[in-house]
Copies of this chain bind each other. A is one copy, B any other.
Amino acid sequence: MNLRAAAERLGLSPERMERMLGRVVRDSDWPTPRLLRFDKAVSGIEAGTVVFEEDEIVYGYPKIRRAMMLSPAIKRCFPDGVLVEEKMNGHNVRVASVDGRIIALTRGGFICPYSTEVANDQIPPEIFKDNPDLVLCGEMAGPKNPYVPKEVYPIESMDFYLFDVSRKGRRDMDGSSRTHALAEEYGIRSVPLFGKFGLDEAAGEIKEIVMDLGARGREGVVIKDPENQKSPIKYTSSESNCKDLEFAFRYYNDYGQDFFFSRVVREGFQAAEWSDGEDEFIERCFRLGKSMLGPMRETVEAKIAGEPIVQEVEIMVKDLQTAADFEEHFRRMGVRALFDPPLSCPGGHLVKIKRLVMSTNDKTESVIEGQLW
């Protein structure tokens, strides 16, 4: 790899690049192709940015900031109306063609073998023949997503949903209209588009959309500038905030405290902005409280019953090698997990995975043995 050329394209001095190597910038030769990966954001380069052998750069997907109150945020962020798309709940990938092979990068810049298999299965290769520099940004979502398993999408396994398009070596996105047009042209699934709204009606319309999504167990929306001149923002349903908490409190000692706090604060602002009636507010309070205590109580009861606390997820692969590679991928990411032998089933192989949540397991065990806090 030509470090000097890569540094220059990234706008860094070769000396700086040299110093970062092995620290902020990690070298990886598995799975192929070989790449350099930015572990953290540095000098305006997003975390997850990747440089391949031919000095091709795939920039990290930019963080989408969150509206805490819809109405004022929309008016502050967008000059002239908005486009509203569904925010799918899965993991963010960037799909590109490198050395003639389609690969899927996680947010952090790892090549995920499982996401790569799904991308190869669902994205027609012609799109990269026609546009070799394309970077397809999308969400991998479904019940067989081992990072964020969700039953609420119309699929048995894991699907790719396109939501943005960029180019190698570039940080800008094509914008919503061109993204959906490209998806249609090549027959790629894309995130649902709810439409375009004027500034005055947007907050009210989005409230209805988000409440409907929430009732169906879906996450929320991304709000974009129709002219693609302003950064998008996101907003989520109460049910999604609570589902996050429900998942996390099952493993209460393995999640950061800001994960909990931020979701409660979102609920507080939403209750205020949406002027919950008395019944709605009671329901919201109960939903929030139960989303924390329900799973935590189950965890403690499971431990009292002598069961280990683990996080059970599944993947559904076409090729057995993908399952083996995914196990190695988890290992390299520092995830401790036990993989069951694959089970053949229609369409591929199912692999059950137990992620070890050591901190919650050990903490709960010590407390039920009388350890003090």
Residues of chain A having any CB pair with chain B under 8 Å = 65-69, 71-77, 233, 249, 252, 257-258, 260-262, 264-265, 267-269, 271-273, 276, 281-282, 284-290, 292-294, 296-297, 299-301, 304, 367-373
Are B296 and A265 neighbours in the complex by a CB distance under 8 Å?
yes
CB distance from A143 to the nearest CB of B (A): 27
CB distance from A278 to the nearest CB of B (A): 12
Are A262 and B373 neighbours in the complex by a CB distance under 8 Å?
yes
Partner of A68, one of B71, B276, B293, B367: B367
Are A301 and B272 neighbours in the complex by a CB distance under 8 Å?
yes
Residues on the B chain within 8 Å of A284, using CB: 289, 293
CA distance A268 to B284 in the complex (A): 19
CB distance from A293 to the nearest CB of B (A): 5
Are B293 and A372 neighbours in the complex by a CB distance under 8 Å?
no
CA distance A282 to B88 in the complex (A): 31
Are A368 and B69 neighbours in the complex by a CB distance under 8 Å?
yes
Residues on the B chain within 8 Å of A287, using CB: 289
Partner of A72, one of B74, B252, B282, B368: B368
CA distance A298 to B286 in the complex (A): 18
CB distance from A200 to the nearest CB of B (A): 15
CA distance A222 to B13 in the complex (A): 62
Residues on the B chain within 8 Å of A269, using CB: 296, 300, 367
Are A271 and B293 neighbours in the complex by a CB distance under 8 Å?
yes
CA distance A300 to B299 in the complex (A): 34
Partner of A300, one of B252, B257, B272, B294: B272
Interface of A is mostly: helix
Are A67 and B372 neighbours in the complex by a CB distance under 8 Å?
yes
Which residue of A69, A281, A282 has the most chain B CB atoms within 10 A of its CB atom?
A69
Partner of A288, one of B257, B289, B301: B289
Q: Given the known A-B contacts A72-B370, A76-B370, A368-B69, are A292 and B264 also in contact in the complex, defined by CB atoms under 8 Å?
A: yes
Are B292 and A268 neighbours in the complex by a CB distance under 8 Å?
yes
User: Which 5 pairs, one residue from A and one from B, show the smallest C-beta to C-beta distance?
Assistant: A76-B370, A268-B296, A289-B289, A72-B370, A285-B289
CA distance A30 to B262 in the complex (A): 41
Q: Which residue on chain B has the smallest CB distance to residue A71?
A: B370
CA distance A74 to B369 in the complex (A): 10
CA distance A13 to B225 in the complex (A): 66
12 A-B residue pairs with Cβ-Cβ distance under 8 Å, sorted by A, are A67-B373, A68-B372, A72-B367, A73-B372, A75-B370, A77-B372, A271-B297, A272-B300, A282-B286, A285-B289, A286-B289, A289-B289
CA distance A72 to B284 in the complex (A): 34
CA distance A285 to B297 in the complex (A): 11
CA distance A260 to B282 in the complex (A): 20
Are A260 and B261 neighbours in the complex by a CB distance under 8 Å?
yes
Are B281 and A285 neighbours in the complex by a CB distance under 8 Å?
no
Partner of A370, one of B77, B268, B285: B77
CA distance A257 to B268 in the complex (A): 15
Residues on the B chain within 8 Å of A260, using CB: 257, 260-261, 264
Are A372 and B66 neighbours in the complex by a CB distance under 8 Å?
yes
Are B300 and A293 neighbours in the complex by a CB distance under 8 Å?
no
Residues on the B chain within 8 Å of A371, using CB: 68, 73, 76
CA distance A350 to B283 in the complex (A): 41
